[in-house]
Amino acid sequence: MELSRSDTFTKPKHTSLAGYRSGDLVVGRTAVLNDLGEIPQVSLEYFKSAVLPPLRGQIDISKIKTSLEGAEAWSRHSGWTAIKEPNLSGVSEEETFETLSKVFDAVVREAGKVASTPATLRFSSRPSHSPLSDHSNATRPEQRRKL
């Protein structure tokens, strides 16, 4: 027996339901997480071997970490010194994690010192702004290269 599309039941996404559009942030976050479903977890070793690109030979993570501790950007006891505990900070997520740029800059700076290489990356975060685009939905990107 062949099944047609009409024989297959569709399950509505939680983000399509009225609760998600209510403006309640807690309900909205829960809806997004429910739509994502189960996210597989892997070991750090697997992640490093299968996902991360290999580091260049002159990059020594332990030396960079020691350098970060000396610059007081990293603490063995409390982690990144620029980032306060989010649930204790009393400010919005955007304000709490705004300091990620300081963390990123410190890592790039100390890595540059240890490896004697200039920075090739820059951190930029604008969580409350939509990304800029040079075209709208009305354009046809597939037609751009045709004469």
State the number of CA atoms in the 13 A half-sphere of 59 facing the CB.
Answer: 13
For residue 130, give Cα distances in angstroms to 20, 32, 126, 133. 20, 19, 8, 9
Angle made by CA atoms 128, 72, 75, in degrees to the nearest 5? 85
Mean pLDDT by 10 residues, the chain (147 residues): 64 84 87 87 88 80 89 88 79 80 88 82 73 60 45
| Cβ atoms 116, 58 nearer than 8 A | yes
Q: In angstroms, how far is CA 16 from the centroid of its own chain?
A: 24
CA distance 29 to 128: 16
In terms of pTM, does the model score above 0.75? no
